Amino acid sequence: MRTYQDIKEQIIAYRHHFHRYPELGNEEIETTAFIEQVLKEHAIRILPNQLKTGVLASVGKGEKVIVLRCDIDAIAIDEDPNMELVSLVPGVSHACGHDMHMAALLAAAILLKEREEELTVRILFLFQPSEENNEGAQEVIDSGVLKQADVLIGWHNEPDLPLGVLGLTNDVFMAAVDQLTVEINGEGGHAGYPHITKDPTITAAYVMIEAQSIISRKLNPIEAAVLSFTTVHGGSSWNSIPTQVRLEGTIRTFSESARELLKREIRQLVMRVAANYDCESEVEIFSGPAAVKNDSEMVELLMPALEKKMRVIEPDKVFAGDDFGFYQEVLPTLYAFVGTGCGTDWHSPNFLVNDEALETAVNYYLTCVETLQEYWQSN
């Protein structure tokens, strides 16, 4: 029976291919085709689905169904051209490591296919599109492909964890992610006559500054949260005050109480500040995935088995999010970090993963499958 070491070089080659040819969310056409090609080469069943991109495949048989999930999309970031392995697609890169995620799931699929005669459960391999847009998981749920699933297993690379270490906890460890849009509408005019305008630029500036007091003065200091404005759009001329300024940003929280408080307070603050400067305002908040928290029964069941195969530690909370949070609302889930030891943050132009971390990721998938199968057989 082959192990990861027997297919290591091929899996690394897959990872490098994905890295060179990244695609944005819901545009993963060639990525989908490549995944399907590899699965067909290993006689792994590809299942029909209603998704525009992404792949669902299956091995094994039985009443119990385990879903192994990875994300497949890239992000709109130019990669540092001096890196050893570089994206060949201008403006797009796998600067969040989803190339590694796909390679690991392909490895798990190949190895589990070779052990299919021993399987008494059905394994679904979910290559999920559009995680970065917070769309893919909900699209998968809405498509109905998870209706018969009993548990869903996922993970993400973590550059701040030592190489090969697994980060697993029963506590919340990834933030809820909400998208914020603020429009300030005033009356534009000549920059030399600001007194006869209603200036949305000054209003927007005060909104961004005062919004930071929500966390420091409205939120319980024991809680943790982030409110960041990330884009500012307004005006088209150096000597004219614009009519509108548009802000975009994000709210990140670990508890539902903090999440609701920040949403309420930012709406009230924008309305108050806009009124102070005779402007109109509109706030839209697009609710993304909830904070990622594992199913306690899954942790209790799978943690001992994982600790026998690899080093497992309690990870720090991170303000990054994952639309995996949507899955935990509909079925039991387990999510972990796999340490790459690279130290460069996600979404950086010089982001790295270490190919040696693939073995931990693959063994994480396999151990979860083996343990769940043994548990269900004995119960």
pLDDT along the chain (379 residues), means of 10: 96 98 98 98 96 97 97 97 95 98 98 97 98 96 96 98 97 96 97 97 98 96 96 97 98 97 98 98 96 97 98 96 97 98 94 97 98 96
pLDDT, residue 165, reads 98
Residue 323's Cβ-side half-sphere holds a number of Cα atoms within 13 Å equal to 23
pTM: 0.94
Kindly tell me the sign of the dihedral angle through the C-alpha atoms of 371, 13, 337, 141.
negative
Does domain 176-287 match CATH 3.40.50.2300? Answer: no
Enumerate the domain spans of the chain.
Answer: 4-174+291-378, 176-287
Tokens of 40: 């067909």
Distance CA 258, CA 219 (A): 7
Name 336's Cβ contacts closer than 8 Å, sequence gap at least 6.
154, 155, 156, 166, 167, 168, 364
Tokens of 86: 């570089």
pLDDT, residue 1, reads 84
Name 324's Cβ contacts closer than 8 Å, sequence gap at least 6.
69, 131, 137, 154, 174, 289, 292, 333, 335
Class of the domain covering 4-174+291-378: alpha beta
